[in-house]
Amino acid sequence: MTVPVPYRVVECEAATPDTATIVLEPVEAALQPFTPGQFAMVYAFGVGDIPLSVSAIDGHRLTHTVRAVGAISGALHALRPGGIVGVRGPFGTGWELSAASGLDLLVVAGGIGLAPLRPLVREVLATPGRYGRLSVLIGAREPRELLYTEEVRSWQGSLTTVDRPDERWQGEVGVVTTLLDRAAFDPSSAAAFICGPEPMIRATAGELVHRGLEPDRIRVSLERNMHCATGHCGHCQLGPLLLCRDGPVVTWRLAQPLLMVREL
C-alpha cells in the first residue's frame, strides 16, 4: 500500500527513557499482514513519515517500538491513545525464517535492534520442533536501555550483556560478541539473524564467519535512511541495492562487501 492508511493508537507504553512501544489498530481498512523483519512507513501528521519495523504482529494490530531521535520519531514517541497516524506497508524482505528450518538459530540484537527481531523469536517459540536450538543474544549500552525485559526473561537460551553497568546490574558486561562463547550452536548447521548498529553487525557477522557459519546463512537488517520505501527515490541506496525493496534484511554474503566500502 503506497498511500497512508489511518491507524489509531490503542496503547502506548514507555519502554526505556527515550523509547516507547505503540500499538496501532486500523481505523477502517487494514494493511496486508506483515511478516517478521518487515517495516511500515509511519506518518506523524504534519511532521513526516519514517520507517519503523514491526515489533509485534497480532492480527490487524501493528506494534512498533520507536526511539525518539529527531522530529518525526519524537512526534510518534509522544503519541497517546486515541491519536491517529498514517501507515504504509508492508515493506521489505523480512527475515525469511523458513529458510532456517531444522537449523540452530542465533538471534543477535544490539539496542533497539531487538524490536524487529522480537516477532521472529515469538514465531520460533510458537513452532517448537521446527528449528534446532535457539540462542538470543542481546547487547545494550546501559541496563536502563534494555527492551522487553520481562518477556526476554521467559525466553530460554537468552543472554544479555551491557557496556556500562549501573550499581544494580548483576549480569554480564562486555560487547554482544562475547556472548557467542556461551551460545549453544553448531556453526555447520546454524542460521543467524542480526540487527543493530552497523559496527555491531560487522563485528558479529565477522565473528560468526570466523567460527564457520556460511555467509549465506547470516541475515542482517540494514536500516539506512528511507523516503519513498517503494524503490523510486533512491534515498536508501547501498551499492546496487535499494534497501527499501531489496532489504532491509539481506544475507551477509551480499552485505559484507557493501559495508566495507569507504565513504567518498
Partner 1 sequence: MTVVRHGFLGALPPAHRDRLAGFARDVSFPAGTRVFEEDGVADRFWIIRSGVVALDVHVPGRRAAVVETLGEGDLLGWSWLFEPYRWHLGAQTRAAVVASEFDAGRVRAACEEDPAFGLAVTNCVAQVIARRLKSTRTRLLDLYGPPR
Ligand X SMILES: Cc1cc2nc3c(=O)[nH]c(=O)nc-3n(C[C@H](O)[C@H](O)[C@H](O)COP(=O)(O)OP(=O)(O)OC[C@H]3O[C@@H](n4cnc5c(N)ncnc54)[C@H](O)[C@@H]3O)c2cc1C
Taking the complex as a whole, how short is the minimal distance between the CB of residue 223 and ligand FES, in angstroms?
12
Residue 243 C-alpha cell reads as: 534497501
Does the protein bind ligand X through residue 148 (CB under 6 A)? no
Site for ligand FES in 157-186 (CB under 6 A): none
Q: Measured between alpha carbons, how far is 139 from 111 in angstroms, rounded to an integer?
A: 6
Report which of 50, 52, 37, 49 is spatially closest to residue 92, judged by C-alpha positions. Answer: 37
Taking the complex as a whole, how short is the minimal distance between the CB of residue 236 and ligand FES, in angstroms?
4
Taking the complex as a whole, how short is the minimal distance between the CB of residue 171 and ligand FES, in angstroms?
38
Does the protein bind ligand FES through residue 226 (CB under 6 A)? yes
Does the protein bind ligand X through residue 50 (CB under 6 A)? yes
**Residue 144 interacts with which of partner 1, ligand FES, ligand X, none, CB < 5 to 8 Å by class:** none
Q: Measured between alpha carbons, how far is 203 from 121 in angstroms, rounded to an integer?
A: 22
Does the protein bind partner 1 through residue 67 (CB under 8 A)? yes
- Whether residue 60 contacts residue 24, with contact meaning beta carbons closer than 8 Å, is answered with no
Choice from 52, 108, 134, 201 touching ligand X (CB under 6 A): 52
Q: Measured between alpha carbons, how far is 135 from 121 in angstroms, rounded to an integer?
A: 10
Helix, strand, coil percentages, rounded to 5, for the chain: 30, 35, 40
Does the protein bind ligand X through residue 70 (CB under 6 A)? yes
**Residue 233 interacts with which of ligand X, partner 1, ligand FES, none, CB < 5 to 8 Å by class:** ligand FES
Q: Measured between alpha carbons, how far is 236 from 39 in angstroms, rounded to an integer?
A: 14
Residue 16 C-alpha cell reads as: 526505556
| Contact region with ligand FES (CB under 6 A), list: 142-150, 189-197, 202-210, 222-230 | 222-230
DSSP string, 164-195: S--TT--SEES-GGGGGGGS---GGGEEEEEE
Residue 156 C-alpha cell reads as: 530460554
| Contact region with partner 1 (CB under 8 A), list: 39-47, 56-64, 196-204, 247-255 | 196-204
Residue nearer to ligand FES on the CB measure, 163 or 198: 198
Residue nearer to ligand FES on the CB measure, 50 or 194: 50
> Strand, helix or coil at 92?
coil
Report which of 233, 258, 255 is spatially closest to residue 244, judged by C-alpha positions. Answer: 233
Binding site for partner 1 (CB under 8 A): 67, 69, 110-112, 139-141, 145, 161, 163, 165, 167, 169-178, 181-182, 187, 196-197, 199-200, 203, 210-212
